[in-house]
Amino acid sequence: MLGAVRPAGLRAARSGAAMAARPRGGGRALAAGAGGAGGAAPPYKPTNIADAEGSPFFELGLKEVQEGAGRVRVRQHVNPLSSAFQTPTPAPDWRASYADPTLPLFVDCGCGPGRFLLLLARHDGRAGRDMNYLGLEIRQPLVERANKWAAELGLGGRVRYVFTNVSVSLAGLLASYPGPVAGLSAQFPDPMFKRRHRKRRMVQASVVQAARELLVPGGAPRRTARDGAGRRAAAPLRASRPPRRARRRRGRRRAAAAAAAGTVFLQSDVYGAAVAMRDEFEQHAGDVLELSPLHASARVFQWTPEQAAAEAAAAAQEQQRQRAAARQRRQGGGAQDGAQGGAEQQDGGAEQQQDEASEEPDGGAEQSQQDGGEAAFVSRWAAGGWLADNPLGVPTEREHYVAATGGRVYRVLLVKR
């Protein structure tokens, strides 16, 4: 975890071991030595579970990932209340960003590395759904790399990533989009367990208000235009019948919008974080949003604060056991173990938030909410349970990692009336 201070002796041991293990001559010497005299270097084997063969993202064939390049160093914890993130992000040139900016827009808030939208755009394209995709992320290196990936995959005209603070800029960005805003997702945000850090959570009242006002209702969206004051207004339908090709294209757009129109998808592997997002939307938009019918027809499960607390206690005991075992290993072979643990922090992709979830158990997050007086709010949506499967059919990097390690994910799908 960035910012953690390690003992000087441990840092020196890890640094010395890492330097001893590093071959002289830099990367060229390593490539020549690995392949033998005059031989080629062995193929790169990704250590990130999101890039490994068998991962759902492997089909993207991201060139930089496969060749071992394209890694970026990022801070896993960013303070969204910093003054650097308080200026609203100006809207991009939508016509330069998308080949057709009038298509329905799906927005992923806190998109992280960005593989989710790339895979979703590819799958929707195969299914004949015409949509645009917008990823919003507060860590600029991830945004720059994700836009490069989109260009490499030929998706630059449909997928765009923007460096921004979602809680500050979401409303302004969506209000400027010329087409309908059909869907919004908030997946695995930073849990922000501590009570004093709740104001740093991504899903704030401002985000809910933007979704409330700018999402189109369920079903086919209305065509919109700008009135004299720059506000969104219903556009009059043409009196003449459009050409057949235009009618077909409009039919595909309406079908795509109907599949995702007016939806809000929330998910997290941290129970307290999932409850906080669900309750935030219910309190501030419960009169216009409701649980999707999938909560009555698809596989769901119930989970209570008592179950979360019991699971958190068991997880805490397991963490203490693992830490004790790690201390014993360090005492027995500190230099070798330190070399393995001293690698520089990089984009973890699927492992993102692994350290965050271990800082405080799920039950602790829920308990902090109760201590803060939030228990007075009783959720009606809680009776609908949590979706057992992802309704979008495409995972995020974190979701893939949680599934691979046998974790549990809490999902809610909302629709606008």
**Contact, 148 vs 164, CB < 8 A?**
no
- For β-strands 232-234 and 224-226, DSSP reports them as antiparallel
Q: How far is CA 218 from the centre of its chain?
A: 23
**List of E strands, 178-307:** 181-187, 224-226, 232-234, 263-268, 289-291, 300-301
Given 108, 130, 190, 337, which residue is catalytic?
A: 190
Residue 209 host element (H or E): helix 205-214
> How far is 170 from 174, CA to CA, in rounded Å?
6
First-last CA distance in the chain: 42
Alpha-carbon dihedral angle through residues 51, 57, 63, 65, given to the nearest 10 degrees: -20
What's the rounded Cα separation, in Å, for the pair 100 and 206?
28
Q: Which helix (H) or strand (E) holds 29?
A: helix 26-35
Which residue in 416, 408, 396, 35 sits closest to 221, CA to CA?
Answer: 416
Nearest-CA neighbor of 142 among 52, 73, 69?
Answer: 73
Catalytic site residue 93?
A: no
Q: Which residues are catalytic?
A: 190
